[in-house]
Chains A and B, each alone.
Chain A
Amino acid sequence: MNPMTTTFVARLRDRDDTAWFELWTVFGPVIRNQLFRWGRGSVGAATVEDLTQDTLTALSKSIDRFDPTRGARFSTWLLAIAKHVLGDEMDRRHAIKRGRGRRPASLDEAYMGVSYGVTPDEVYERAIFQAKIYAAIRAAQKDSEFLHFEVYRMRVFEGRAGKEVATQLGMSEPTVSRHLRRVRDCIRSHVEDVVTLYSFTDEESAEVDSAGLAGGDDLFDEAICDIYVAHSRVVEDDERRLAER
């Protein structure tokens, strides 16, 4: 595990609020979405919200015993605990139906090993990766000047022509290009940091290349835009479910 991840895990172990808040903000929607998919309609939004909290609670308990040398992926770590929490909830429901009590299941921590049976599907893996990149975009937005990021948003996320952006914002096209490059570099830097931060294995770190984020500027912008739009939909669906709760 790289030093950044080690530091982050150490912060989690130290019960650093901001670290947990970060984890919650970045991956909460993905976990909720996954629990919805697993529940197949039998689990309501309120229960999913509770289960997501339980997942983070279980995470916080598990983090003290987490052994990074056993080769688990970050995504698997999250997924295994979410699955454990959901399974526990289902057991509880069945026990109630049978009219019996139920002892809470202990967390099977075999997920720390590479060969653990939980196999995250492609949708889940993609969602986790997109959540990381989305976090990088957020971080870049925070670090960039407002005007610069607006240029990038209009040009890349909204697909407007450089000339139109220049007209709207009262600047020359070369200035637009300059701002664009500055924000792109900022995002690249944050992508590297965030992916490193939330990756336990080299395999996870290498996902950046396969997603097109290691390519040229155009390819990078296109990949970032796709991820931004896709993850926005995930978050919007999640927020809508929470609001309808």
Chain B
Amino acid sequence: MILTFASIFLQFILATLLVLFLIVAGKAAISIVSRICGFAFGGIGDVIRMLAGAIAAVAMVPLILISVMFGRWDRVDYYAIGLRRGGRRLGRAAHSLCVRRPQRLLFLDGVQPGLVHEVPHVPDEGPTDMPSSKKAAGGTPSRGGVSFPGYEVVGTLPPGGSGARLYIASPDERTRASLAGAPPQVVIKSFDLVGGSSLPQIVRESRSLDAARSLGLVLDHRLDERSFWYAMPYHAGDHLGEVVRRAHQGGVDHDGLRGTALRDVLGFEIDLLETLDRYHGQGLWHKDVKPENIIVHDGVAHLVDFGLVTSLRSAMTLTTHGTEYFRDPEMVRMAMQGVKVHEVDGARFDVYGAGAVLYYMLENTFPGHGGLSRFGRPSPEALRWIVRRAMADYDRRYTTAAEMLGDLRFVAAQSDPWAVTPASLPSVAGGVDAESEDAIVDSVASVSSRTPRLRGRRPVATQSRPRLSVVNWWTGAYREDAGRGISTDLRSVISSAPVRETEGPGTASIGAGLFLLMVFTAAVVAFFVAQAWRYDSESLASVDLPATSLTWSWDANAWQLEDAGIGGLHGSTMPTPPPPGDLRGVISLNDHESLDPTEVDQFLDRIEESVVSVGWEPAGGEGLLGGISFQIEAIILAMLYKDGGRSGGPVTQRMIGQLEEKGVGALILVEEDGERDLSATLIRIDGETLFEWRQPAPLD
């Protein structure tokens, strides 16, 4: 009985093992067949990809040589990128065919990661679009289809008025080590021509990049032919408006700020002024000081948003950018009169903003009357004085942020700010001696629990504003007289990119003397050929572009207001653009379908006068806005409409290529920015910005 039972049990075990063996053997067989098939079919695919990559790369070589011969350097860049992509495709396919697939066939998949790690990392040049399910460059997951080499995108922030996208990102270890302060997280501001950003926006944001890097405001940046991004320190916290609202909610209604809350506010204002003082010392002007641009993190106020930062010595015309109530009305008047930035002291406009911010903190509302704004809540008389002095008329306010900072530090140093009289403030009493100054700093450092960062810190010496000489009025490049050059030239920005160098396309990698000689000969030939082709008798109206109709939907109010001449068109002097050099032909493009045609016409009329006066020839020879080029405007609008409203879209690019063939050397691109300001940029066909006009928005 027992033997029978054991026999049955044994048979059961054997049967089970047999079934398991069959399952495993079947799986193994399937796996082997799968791998053999994968190797065969995948190999065929790899071979096809290799061939495609090789053909693409080989096809680009003669195109590059032809472009070099004709001196078409922009095309050389373009074809060089194609060559590089073809080569990459070829290399990847070859690697797959020769390494990855045999490994997989021989069950050596585990070796793959190790080998991959040995392959040198070639960073991409800009944000990479890819499906969100895939991994970003460097193995970091992307978010929203965007990745930045060396960074992992972990979140987004609401976009500002510039149209750029803001991401919170964590740098990988290598990148982090290369950044000043090794921050765990950064904010990346990204512009993408394909994603809707415009070239003038990118140019504007990149102008003061070098100086911003020296201030530690920008940690990293990257610029290529279609995108631009830069990384800034990330401060996780609420903006000042939110902090102030909570502070006022904490006390008795309409009783103002007292005790620690008042001390905190003083500390925030001191932080703000210290930052502004550093900006001004570096020759920069923040231009958008307001509570929303001040982030309070760990009890310290950080001024953020680099978008409107302008060189104090800029040759550009003042614009009305900024935020109402925190922007000096006098600046608006000056902008309407066409005053240049270097003709005024932009630092004083920041001082006005700082005064408005202090008013906001004390009153929990914005200063609607400018310097005449009333105080409705109790606050120390000395602080009211400081606010009014900062918001006084342009010629009568604090001349520097440091002067205002001195008064604030003095108030913060007193045990009872309410007892301080305006008469005792350093700016009124004639300053304080060095000993008292030390005492002030020590007192400020110890007066509040929120100010440990100030403990032991000496007052920041006010840096004398560097004397700058503009060395190139076209590009805005300038240098300090002391010899330390600060270049805002876009090209220098590109060349000063951080450690991860980008591959130089086209001629950059060509060093052989013989080839340079050939290039020189080709350039001479191209020059004469271009001279012969310059005057194309073909009408621009015959450019092969798709005909379409466009529905214009204008804002009636804005139209009428502009028609009335309130928008600031009249009275200001139009700046003089650079002469055409070897370009001559220019055409104007209207890049925004929402612009008022009357306004644009008037704006372009004046631009026409200024460009013609220095020797530019309107393309087509019939006037910049009349006849042909006006049709071109309409076509461009239609093109942009079809192209998803993107000035960098493929249709527009193709159109620009056609214009180039017609002998148009430069474009005047008219755009509207976030505040309805009109701007026009003179851009070479190859993308280099030559000049910029600006038209303030109507006052509404």
Q: Report how far A53 CA is from B676 CA in the complex, Å.
A: 15
Interface residues of B in 527-584 (CB under 8 A from A): 557, 560-561, 563-572
Is B246 on the interface with A (CB-CB < 8 A)?
A: no
A21 near B393 with CB under 8 A, answer no
**Which residues from chain B contact A138 at a C-beta distance below 8 Å?**
372
A57 near B571 with CB under 8 A, answer no
Most buried by A among B325, B421, B569, B571: B571
Is B453 on the interface with A (CB-CB < 8 A)?
A: no
Is B333 on the interface with A (CB-CB < 8 A)?
A: yes
A53 near B561 with CB under 8 A, answer yes
A170 near B424 with CB under 8 A, answer yes
B422 near A168 with CB under 8 A, answer yes
Is A236 on the interface with B (CB-CB < 8 A)?
A: yes
Interface-forming stretch among B31-39, B284-292, B307-315, B381-389? B381-389
A17 near B423 with CB under 8 A, answer no
> Residues of A within 8 Å of B, CB-based: how many?
40
Q: Report how far A170 CA is from B429 CA in the complex, Å.
A: 9
Q: Report how far A228 CA is from B325 CA in the complex, Å.
A: 19
**Which residues from chain A contact B572 at a C-beta distance below 8 Å?**
17
Is B392 on the interface with A (CB-CB < 8 A)?
A: yes
Interface-forming stretch among A141-149, A177-185, A202-210? A141-149
Interface-forming stretch among B109-117, B160-168, B363-371? B363-371
**Which residues from chain B contact A42 at a C-beta distance below 8 Å?**
none
Is B374 on the interface with A (CB-CB < 8 A)?
A: yes
Is A173 on the interface with B (CB-CB < 8 A)?
A: no
Q: Report how far A15 CA is from B569 CA in the complex, Å.
A: 9
A17 near B336 with CB under 8 A, answer yes
**Which residues from chain B contact A157 at a C-beta distance below 8 Å?**
374
A17 near B566 with CB under 8 A, answer yes
Say yes or no: A169-B422 contact (C-beta < 8 A), given A49-B700, A141-B371, A236-B368: yes
B336 near A21 with CB under 8 A, answer yes
A141 near B700 with CB under 8 A, answer no
Nearest-Cβ distance from residue A180 to partner chain B, whole angstroms: 16
Nearest-Cβ distance from residue B362 to partner chain A, whole angstroms: 15
Is B293 on the interface with A (CB-CB < 8 A)?
A: no
**Which residues from chain A contact B385 at a C-beta distance below 8 Å?**
150
Q: Which of A24, A60, A167, A240 contacts B699 (CB 8 A)?
A: A24
A61 near B368 with CB under 8 A, answer no
Say yes or no: A17-B557 contact (C-beta < 8 A), given A146-B392, A235-B369: no
Residue of A nearest to B336 (CB): A17
**Which residues from chain A contact B333 at a C-beta distance below 8 Å?**
18, 21
Is A192 on the interface with B (CB-CB < 8 A)?
A: no
Q: Report how far A61 CA is from B566 CA in the complex, Å.
A: 11
Q: Which of B368, B397, B569, B699 contacts A21 (CB 8 A)?
A: B699
| 12 more CB-based (< 8 A) A-B contacts, given A20-B565, A239-B366 | A18-B333, A18-B337, A21-B699, A56-B561, A57-B561, A60-B565, A137-B372, A150-B385, A169-B421, A169-B422, A170-B421, A232-B372
The 9 A-B pairs at the shortest CB distance, nearest first, are namely A170-B423, A15-B565, A60-B564, A239-B368, A57-B560, A146-B396, A57-B564, A17-B336, A15-B570
Give 13 CB contacts A-B under 8 Å: A15-B564, A15-B565, A15-B570, A17-B570, A17-B571, A53-B700, A59-B564, A141-B371, A146-B389, A146-B397, A167-B423, A169-B423, A243-B366
